Amino acid sequence: MKAWLVAYLIMNIVGLVIMWEDKKRAKKHEYRISERTLWMVALLGGAVGATAGMQLYRHKTKHTSFKIGFPALAVIELGLFIKYLL
């Protein structure tokens, strides 16, 4: 069980950092992190961090798929996390 908690925390930190990095690259007009990669991180347990990063850095907030999809996925992941934690 402890390994799941560590993995969940790491993926959410990755989700937060990857949104920050993509925003930084967007401002500098550099090579970007693909949307597919952002979604994969979110789907693999990092949706809460990715959603937090999206709001914190105001990144991808105009994209409907991200604006609705990331928070919805975060709620699902949190629900599953709580269900299996208890």
On average, the pLDDT of the chain sits at 94
pLDDT band at 44 (very low <50, low <70, confident <90, very high): very high
Q: What is the pLDDT of residue 72?
A: 97
Please state whether the predicted TM-score (pTM) of the whole model is above 0.75. yes
Would you state the structure tokens that stand for residue 51, as one six-digit string? 């959603």
- Is the model's pLDDT at 84 over the cut of 90? no
Give the tens place of pLDDT for each residue, 4-25. Answer: 889 999 999 999 999 999 999 9
Going from the C-alpha of 8 to that of each of 25, 26, 38, 44, 58, the distances in angstroms are: 26, 27, 16, 9, 23
